[in-house]
Amino acid sequence: MIRYLIKNNLKIMYRSPVNILLYVLCPIVISAVLIGAFSAMMESYEGAKEFTVGYRTEQNSAFEQSVGAIVEAGKQNGITFAEYQSGEPEELIKEHKLGAFVEFGSETYTIYDTQDTKTESGTLQYMLTAMVNASVSGDYSKVQFKTETPFFVPAVNSTDYYGIIYIVYFGWCALVCAAGLFSNERKHRIDERLLVSNLSVPQQYLARFIPLVAVVSGGIGIASVVGGLIMGVHWGNIALSAAIVLLSVMAATAMEMMIYELTHSMLASIIISFGIVWVLGYIGGSFETYMFSTHPEWLKQLDPIYHENRALVELSTMGHSDYVASAILLLSGLLTVFSLLNLAVGSIRRKAQ
Amino acid sequence: MNENNDIILRTVDLTKKYDNRAVVDSLNIEIKKGEIFGLLGPNGAGKSTTMNMICNIVKPDFGTIEFMGEDFRKNRKKLSRHLGYIPQHLAIHGSLKAWENVELFTSLYGIKGDELAKRIDESLAYVGLSERRNDYAKKFSGGMKRRLNIACAIGHHPDLLIFDEPTVGIDPQSRNFILEKIKESNKNGATVIYTSHYMEEVEAICTRIAIMDNGRIIAIGTSEELKKLVVDDTEKITLEEVFLTLTGKKLRDQ
């Protein structure tokens, strides 16, 4: 019954030039501008691929037997280890232009860095963590990190970062795509005709939700392909990345349709929706990169855009990400909750007519 | 429920209040099968609210609506396909072509595939828009949009057609075309409820007329019967004069 309604709603949205502009051209143009603007800053990441680390090992350290293996693993990964028996770590870093300094204690190790060598120390820590994890059943079983917040910065360049992040961000601005349809329905009281036909609340919801998701996903899908071809944006695991982006478009659509259902004003809904998405994007790395942002970690962990951005960027740079599961879980949760709220508010409105 | 097979729609004590004011006040009307029933009333009389309650757009506070012998509100799913509503406003999508508008609204009644294609052709031909089927509705004139508005409500072959001021703001040719089509639909078996502020239209096409004021029916009958309520010689009075006599000349602000 709603097949034709979905099809025609799809046509209405598809025929709007604003939607083509917003979901195809805008992500490409803004990504291109930011890629250019931040390419120099992001290059410092890539410079972190090869650097020197100073180290010192205490007597009877649990790491004593493994230092040789660590130095060898570092060499294979572009990290040169130089031993310093004496001297203050901070001064040694400055004097010898070290990326970081690590002291292997009895059962722990301590990494020293400076404001300028956060990337190198992060990379070192990642490597040491990998070493410890790999030998967890062996000599390293008692080793604990002294650093409280293990930190890994994937070596991402500005092309991949902004090329991905702005596809995500525009996907979160889904409501604009429906502005023409919803406004026309309201202005010409088309929803009254739907009521006369006895269209149910879930049918009415799906008849708007499905085409809205399809047009936004289609638009940013084209933008992604064009961005990939023109700017060389690299997505890593394309199928998994596409699934995460689609899920986020669905969650954003459900949330923003819910806001419209409550306000029944397109202008108010767009202002509220964009306000929410801007804050989520601000915390989640849409403007300044999440690697360099100073927002508290707990706040970022609450933000679905942070989980999504991080999952997609890590999929691009490393081919895998621990954030994939949390991103899918959060986005699915939002989709379910807001869809149910949409249906509940729609039903209450019908009863209150 | 309904013992009289000649009655297609009956309202029993139909009531709707807004801010404790009864906009429709215990309304009891019976619409017979095959008639063109005119509903007249000044602004704020309760006509649109009555139409909206019949059409499921507004829920009544009290009373029942019997449609085709059954409680309409309880059997809405089954009965809604027998009702066609032509609203006063142009409830069409400008960015859809004429045939797509008809497809959208006709499909809501479960019609699909070849049958749907046939109904689209039929509805557009009925309102004289076959030649313009592939044009976007936003490019249509006011009269053409009105006709498309009608086409969108008849594709599912309803037994009862509700026209809410369908000739507002259009030229005499389009108005005449629409009135002829209403009469044709009626001849083909559809019952019609028709509201308008144009008395001559109502007099010309309606078999029975009700005058509504302050949420109640204050007079009902044929045009002749209504005139006789005011004067004996019906030749000397128009329906408009009857209307003004019964509802008063005081301006109504909604």
Q: Which of A1, A184, A189 sits opposite B93 (nearest CB)?
A: A184
Mean pLDDT of B186-192: 93
Worst-scoring range by mean pLDDT, A39-53, B122-136, B147-161, B190-204? Answer: A39-53
Q: CB contact, 8 Å: B89 with chain A?
A: yes
Backbone angles phi, psi at B93, to 5 degrees: -95, 120
Distance of CA A71 to the CA centre of its chain: 33
Q: CB contact, 8 Å: A6 with chain B?
A: no
Contact B58, A192 (CB under 8 A): no
Contact A50, A74 (CB under 8 A): no
Residue B252: its pLDDT value, please?
63
> B7-247: which CATH number, 3.40.50.720, 3.40.50.300, 1.20.1250.20, 3.20.20.10?
3.40.50.300
Q: CB contact, 8 Å: B140 with chain A?
A: no
- Please tell me the distance from the alpha carbon of residue A75 to that of residue A56, in angstroms, as a whole number: 17
What DSSP letter does each residue of A231-263 carry, written as one string? H----SSHHHHHHHHHHHHHHHHHHHHHHHHHH
Question: Bridge-partner residues for B84, per DSSP?
Answer: B161
Residue A136: its pLDDT value, please?
59
pLDDT band at B33 (very low <50, low <70, confident <90, very high): very high
Cα–Cα distances in angstroms (integers) from residue B84 to residues A2, A144, A232, A340, B61, in the given order:
18, 75, 56, 31, 23
What DSSP letter does each residue of A167-231 carry, written as one string? HHHHHT-THHHHHHHHHHHHHTTHHHHHHHTT--HHHHHHHHHHHHHHHHHHHHHHHHHHHHHHH
Residue A180 with chain B: CB contacts under 8 Å? 95
pLDDT band at B122 (very low <50, low <70, confident <90, very high): very high
Distance of CA B76 to the CA centre of its chain: 18
Residue A239: its pLDDT value, please?
94
Q: CB contact, 8 Å: B75 with chain A?
A: no
Residue A151: its pLDDT value, please?
41
Residue B67 with chain A: CB contacts under 8 Å? none
CA distance, residue B197 to nearest chain A CA (Å): 21
Q: Which of A16, A196, A351 sits opposite B80 (nearest CB)?
A: A196
Beta carbon pairs, A and B, within 8 Å: 77
* pLDDT(B235) > 80: no
Residue B253: its pLDDT value, please?
59
In tens digits, chain A (353 residues) has pLDDT values of: 799 999 999 999 988 888 888 888 888 888 888 777 776 666 555 545 678 899 999 888 888 878 888 888 788 777 889 999 888 888 888 888 888 899 988 888 899 988 777 778 888 887 787 777 766 555 444 433 333 333 444 467 788 888 899 899 999 999 989 988 998 888 888 988 988 988 899 999 999 999 999 999 999 999 999 888 888 888 888 999 999 999 999 999 999 999 999 998 999 999 999 999 999 999 998 887 777 777 888 999 999 999 999 999 989 888 888 999 999 999 999 999 999 999 999 999 888 77
Mean pLDDT of B11-32: 92
Element of type H or E holding B251: none
Half-sphere exposure of B121 (CA within 13 A, CB side): 6
Residue B120: its pLDDT value, please?
97
Question: How is the beta sheet containing B160-164 ordered, strand by strand?
Answer: B83-86, B160-164, B191-195, B36-40, B208-213, B216-221
Q: Outline where DSSP puts E strands in A32-105.
A: 51-57, 79-83, 100-104
CA distance, residue B101 to nearest chain A CA (Å): 8
- Please tell me the distance from the alpha carbon of residue B203 to that of residue B145, in angstroms, as a whole number: 25
CA distance, residue B174 to nearest chain A CA (Å): 21
At CA A56, angle to CA A50 and CA A62, rounded to 5?
A: 110
Residue-wise pLDDT tens digits, A240-260: 999 999 999 999 999 999 999
Residue A202 with chain B: CB contacts under 8 Å? none
pLDDT band at B65 (very low <50, low <70, confident <90, very high): very high
What DSSP letter does each residue of B124-144 carry, written as one string? HHHTT-GGGTTSBGGGS-HHH
Asked if A8 and B80 come within 8 Å (Cβ–Cβ), the reply is: no
* pLDDT(B49) > 80: yes
Residue numbers of A between 159 and 218 with CB closer than 8 Å to B: 180, 184, 188-190, 192-199
- The full set of domains in chain A, from first to last, is 3-42+156-351 (no CATH), 49-145 (3.40.190)
